[in-house]
Copies of this chain bind each other. A is one copy, B any other.
Amino acid sequence: MYISKSFIPILKNNPSEAKIKSHQLMLRVGMIKQSSSGIYSWLPLGLKVMKKIEQIVRHEQDKIGAQEILMPTIQSSDIWKESGRYEDYGDEMLRIKDRQNREMLYGPTNEELVTDIFRTSVKSYKSLPQLLYHIQWKFRDEIRPRFGIMRCREFFMKDAYSFDISDEDAIFSYNKFFLSYLKTFKRLELVAIPMAADTGPIGGNLSHEFIILADTGESKIFTDKRIFDLEYDDTKLEKKSLENLRKKYEQFYSVTDEKFNEKEFEKKVDAPYRLKTKGIEVGHIFYFSDKYSKPMNAAVDLPGGKKDFVKMGSYGIGVSRLVGAIIEAKYDEKNEVMKWPISVAPYDISIIPLTNKNDNSSLDKANKIFLELKKNDIDAIIDDTDENISAKIKKMSLIGAPFQIIIGKNSDDDFLEFKEVGKEMKKINLLEIIKIIKKQKEKN
């Protein structure tokens, strides 16, 4: 694919309206375009990244046995009246009247709708546990949308819901998502720390936010630095093993703003380990038992013949927000260099030929290399514009494909100028380049 044919509207300078680096970069390289306040279109570059993130999130959900469904964006107010949240939710809920004057709304979250699906479908404890998830657009009518897709109104989210017969089983489900989230964020090369958190409008008494550190984050966090060194690799998808994982994390003080208590922090964390900083929330899990199943009458038959309300939890990951979160974590703003994790990069590699009106030889070489890479499932983009090489390198470093091949006048097939973004240039042949990229891709 040539960059001249791609729909990648690149801006010369940082747009003045963007205050944080993810917003700047996403507008600068044409990943998104604002369509109205807090609402964005995703252009090809941004969509490619988001789709890859979505796929990783989906894969990690499937691995814990969650099943994918897809609920609609527009819901009836009836079920929200049943649960009692219709009035409570306030102005962030986008309320709509349809042509028949029925009260509808654009779903900000889906506890009610999934409970309704469950109660009409599942009647017996024998069908439990059920873990259901969907990846769908949500709308929250933020009073002051800001920071691009980080705090916008229409956003793309994975939300999952668990249904169990007992608190004990329900906590087992909760812990499965706890592990799954750690794995998901690691595959995105993010260090996300689970923190005890308030449950807010979702409700319940057990909740963790998953937060990545970032100066531009809107969450204040208070944590014991040792939590960053924890590993989960030996954890199995079994009750006991998952319990131990939670305990391992919970031995370290780690809370968000609302849960923070200075005295407790000082008592539990020795001075050298104390960390007060800011972060970005990328995931949030909740356990709320029968908060929705009881008012909505979602009960199943128990072994003895009695019935009981199912115990539920919910589990969210901000898929569109993760695009921004990765940029906040990886973008070197000063040098204007972005390097995407290869698992979500818009392209694996950029090919940068010297272009010359009277001489197509570099471009021809680029085309040949492109085809060879394609055969090996490596997704490349060729910068065929007539800018000079250093301008192209700069642009491609902003777009952020993790590797580059530069083809000048004297480029030799056996010694291509190859560069991993942020590292030194090397001269190696195409076969070696393919090997390096394939190895990187397999890691994920």
**Which residues of A pack against B, CB within 8 Å?**
4-7, 9, 30, 33, 35-37, 39-44, 47, 50, 65, 67-76, 78, 91-92, 94, 96, 98-100, 102, 104, 106, 113, 116-117, 120-122, 126-127, 130, 132, 137, 139, 141, 143, 153-154
**Given A7-B67, A9-B121, A72-B40, A96 and B96 contact (CB-CB distance below 8 Å):** yes
* Contact yes or no, A35 B71, CB < 8 A: yes
* Contact yes or no, B47 A69, CB < 8 A: yes
**Chain B residue at minimal CB-CB distance from A136:** B137
Residue among A6, A7, A67, A106 with the highest chain B CB neighbour number at 10 A: A7
Q: How far is the CA of A68 from the CA of B71 in the complex (A)?
A: 23
**Which of chain B's residues have a CB closer than 8 A to the CB of A73?**
73, 137, 154
Q: How far is the CA of A72 from the CA of B39 in the complex (A)?
A: 7
Since A9-B121, A106-B106 are in contact, a sample of 9 more A-B pairs with Cβ atoms closer than 8 Å, ordered by chain A residue number, is A9-B120, A35-B113, A35-B116, A36-B78, A39-B74, A42-B71, A47-B70, A73-B73, A98-B141
* Contact yes or no, B41 A67, CB < 8 A: no
29 contacts between A and B (CB under 8 A): A5-B127, A6-B67, A7-B121, A7-B122, A30-B121, A33-B120, A33-B121, A35-B117, A36-B74, A37-B100, A37-B102, A39-B74, A39-B76, A41-B71, A41-B117, A42-B71, A43-B69, A43-B117, A43-B121, A44-B69, A47-B68, A47-B70, A72-B137, A72-B154, A74-B153, A74-B154, A92-B99, A94-B96, A96-B96
Q: How far is the CA of A130 from the CA of B9 in the complex (A)?
A: 12
**Identical copies in the complex:** 2
- Closest CB in chain B relative to A333 CB, distance in Å: 24
**Which of chain B's residues have a CB closer than 8 A to the CB of A104?**
36
- Closest CB in chain B relative to A135 CB, distance in Å: 10
**Which of chain B's residues have a CB closer than 8 A to the CB of A92?**
99
Point out the residue from B4, B35, B72, B91 that lies within 8 Å of A41, measured CB to CB: B72
Interface residue SS majority, chain A: mixed
**Which of chain B's residues have a CB closer than 8 A to the CB of A120?**
9, 33
* Contact yes or no, B7 A69, CB < 8 A: yes
Residue among A6, A126, A141 with the highest chain B CB neighbour number at 10 A: A141
Q: How far is the CA of A104 from the CA of B94 in the complex (A)?
A: 11
Q: How far is the CA of A153 from the CA of B117 in the complex (A)?
A: 19
Q: How far is the CA of A71 from the CA of B40 in the complex (A)?
A: 7
* Contact yes or no, A42 B69, CB < 8 A: yes
Q: How far is the CA of A163 from the CA of B47 in the complex (A)?
A: 20
**Which of chain B's residues have a CB closer than 8 A to the CB of A6?**
67
Q: How far is the CA of A430 from the CA of B68 in the complex (A)?
A: 30
- Closest CB in chain B relative to A236 CB, distance in Å: 19
Residue among A44, A72, A120 with the highest chain B CB neighbour number at 10 A: A72
Q: How far is the CA of A99 from the CA of B96 in the complex (A)?
A: 11
Q: How far is the CA of A139 from the CA of B98 in the complex (A)?
A: 11
Q: How far is the CA of A132 from the CA of B43 in the complex (A)?
A: 9
**Chain B residue at minimal CB-CB distance from A42:** B70
